[in-house]
Amino acid sequence: MPVAIVTGGSRGIGRAIAERLGADGATVVVNYQSNRSAAEQVVATIERSGGQGVAAQADVADPAQLRGLFDSAEERFGGVDILVNNVGTARFSAIAEATDEDYELMFSINARATFVALREAANRLRDHGRIVVVSSGVTATHRPGAGLYGASKAAAEELVRVLARELGPRGITVNNVLPGAIRTEALAAARSPELTEQIVVSTPLGRIGEPDDIARIVAFLASDAARWITGETVHAGGGLF
């Protein structure tokens, strides 16, 4: 039974991914920052489907806590086979109006925390493991107001492409997934209903995505069926980008 760490696994896309991997037979370490109750609900769902999971607190912006997440997984389950890096934060503004604080916040979480997670995975994953980074479709759409956010996510995407080459000899695959607009609390907070409707109209498949749409893609990339796919970026925006 493979052991998977899902960062940001207590809600939204991360929750759907954790539950899907659990249903597919993985033992899932469900990372959360502050809402233990939500993470335990995810674990309960995994266990009802016949899987095994555990809630694990860590602020991934803190390198020591992120390393501790891997330590806990190794101590409890003997090793790690899958990392799904699914954390991020966003602030939107024109570049001319962005602040130094905006830059530090987004690059510390979206770029540096991803770097630390990938470095730990590179040193700790068992051979033939899987790494999937959940990025953002803004790196492909270049939307005004998303410059800093997109740049911080794009930095992580470059790390993925290089790491795929470095870990290839060990049979470890490393891939990116770029979600478009997904029905989550974060989407509702960041975009008005009018803007969401504009996205729906512009999307060839005629809707916004659901967390399970992304979870299915991640689960495929984390499976043996995707053993010949690495260094790739999957555009998961319903045809929008």
Q: Which residues are catalytic?
A: 149
The helix or strand, by DSSP H or E, that contains position 234, with its residue range, turns out to be: strand 233-236
- Is 62 a member of any domain? yes
CA dist., res. 59 & res. 64, Å (int): 9
What is the distance between the terminal CA atoms of the chain, rounded to a whole angstrom? 36
Q: Which two tokens stand for residue 231?
A: 């260094």
- Is 129 a member of any domain? yes
- Percent of the chain topping pLDDT 90: 92
- Is 241 a member of any domain? no
pLDDT in tens, 201-238: 999 999 999 999 999 999 999 999 999 999 999 999 99
- Is 70 a member of any domain? yes
- Count of domains observed in the chain: 1
CA dist., res. 203 & res. 193, Å (int): 15
The CATH number that applies at residue 183 is 3.40.50.720
CB atoms within 10 A of CB 99: 11
Domain interval for residue 45: 3-234
Q: Which two tokens stand for residue 65?
A: 């806590």
- Is 107 a member of any domain? yes
Answer left, alpha or beta for residue 162, where phi above 0 means left and psi between -120 and 50 means alpha: alpha
pLDDT reading at 101 higher than 90: yes
* pLDDT at 125 (0 to 100): 98
CA dist., res. 90 & res. 109, Å (int): 10
- Is 187 a member of any domain? yes
pLDDT in tens, 139-182: 999 999 999 999 999 999 999 999 999 999 999 999 999 999 99
DSSP string, 51-115: -EEEEEE--TTSHHHHHHHHHHHHHHHS-EEEEEE---------GGG--HHHHHHHIIIIIIHHH
- Is 181 a member of any domain? yes
Mean pLDDT computed over every residue of the chain: 95
- Is 119 a member of any domain? yes
